């Protein structure tokens, strides 16, 4: 029973964080790129996947995607497939990256790039954005988001493992 309670509590906490990041300016941090901001909304998804496994990561990813879909002004994210599916996959891919490497940074980079490649790739597939634009956005926006996400995820996971009394 203790494991189930912990999983529910962590899922709720990370889902709440994802909602707050999505509904406030806290989910976007300033970076020196053309966009000027990088999202950190994928971090709770990656943390959930590392700490509790793929189901928790995918659930928090669904919350992230749903918030993106319901609050965005971006035409690209008005499509629920583009807004939600890549965010669910962040949890799955981050989990397996961590399972196979035991490296938080690699898992976070995989998660960040899953978000970027998934959203932009589907945008190209649905003919919402041209391929060249997607590549440009991935290079100038996706890479900084993956790096920032990896640093923050590493710190958060290490702290959570310490609080939970587990090894990172």
Would you state the pLDDT for residue 110?
Answer: 96
The pLDDT value recorded for residue 32 is 75
Tokens of 108: 């976070």
CATH number at residue 74: 1.10.1760.20
Number of compact structural domains in the chain? 1
**Domain, as residue range, for 65:** 2-164
Q: What is the pLDDT of residue 154?
A: 95
> pLDDT in tens for each of the 168 residues of the chain?
457 888 999 999 999 999 999 998 888 887 776 667 778 999 999 999 999 999 999 999 999 999 999 988 788 889 999 999 999 999 999 999 999 999 999 999 999 999 999 999 999 999 999 999 999 988 888 888 888 899 999 999 999 989 888 765
pTM for the whole thing?
Answer: 0.91
Distances (CA, A) of 147 to 15, 91, 105: 22, 17, 9
Q: Length of the chain in residues, anyone?
A: 168
Q: Are 140 and 35 in contact (CB under 8 A)?
A: yes
pLDDT of residue 139: 87
């Amino acid at each position: 029973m203790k494991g189930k309670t912990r999983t529910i509590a962590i899922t709720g906490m990370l889902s709440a964080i994802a909602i707050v990041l999505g509904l406030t300016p806290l989910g976007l941090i300033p970076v020196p790129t053309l966009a000027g901001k990088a999202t950190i909304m994928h971090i709770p998804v990656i943390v959930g996947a590392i700490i509790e496994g793929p189901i928790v990561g995918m659930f928090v990813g669904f919350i992230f995607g749903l918030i993106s879909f319901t609050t965005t002004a971006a035409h690209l994210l008005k499509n629920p497939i583009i807004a939600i599916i890549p965010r669910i996959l962040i949890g799955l891919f981050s989990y397996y990256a961590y399972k196979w490497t035991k490296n938080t940074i690699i898992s976070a980079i995989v998660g960040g790039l899953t978000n970027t490649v998934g959203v932009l790739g589907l945008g190209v597939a649905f003919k919402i954005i041209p391929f060249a634009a997607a590549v440009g956005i991935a290079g100038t926006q996706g890479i900084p988001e993956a790096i920032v996400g990896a640093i923050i995820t590493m710190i958060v996971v290490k702290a959570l493992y310490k609080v939970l009394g587990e090894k990172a």
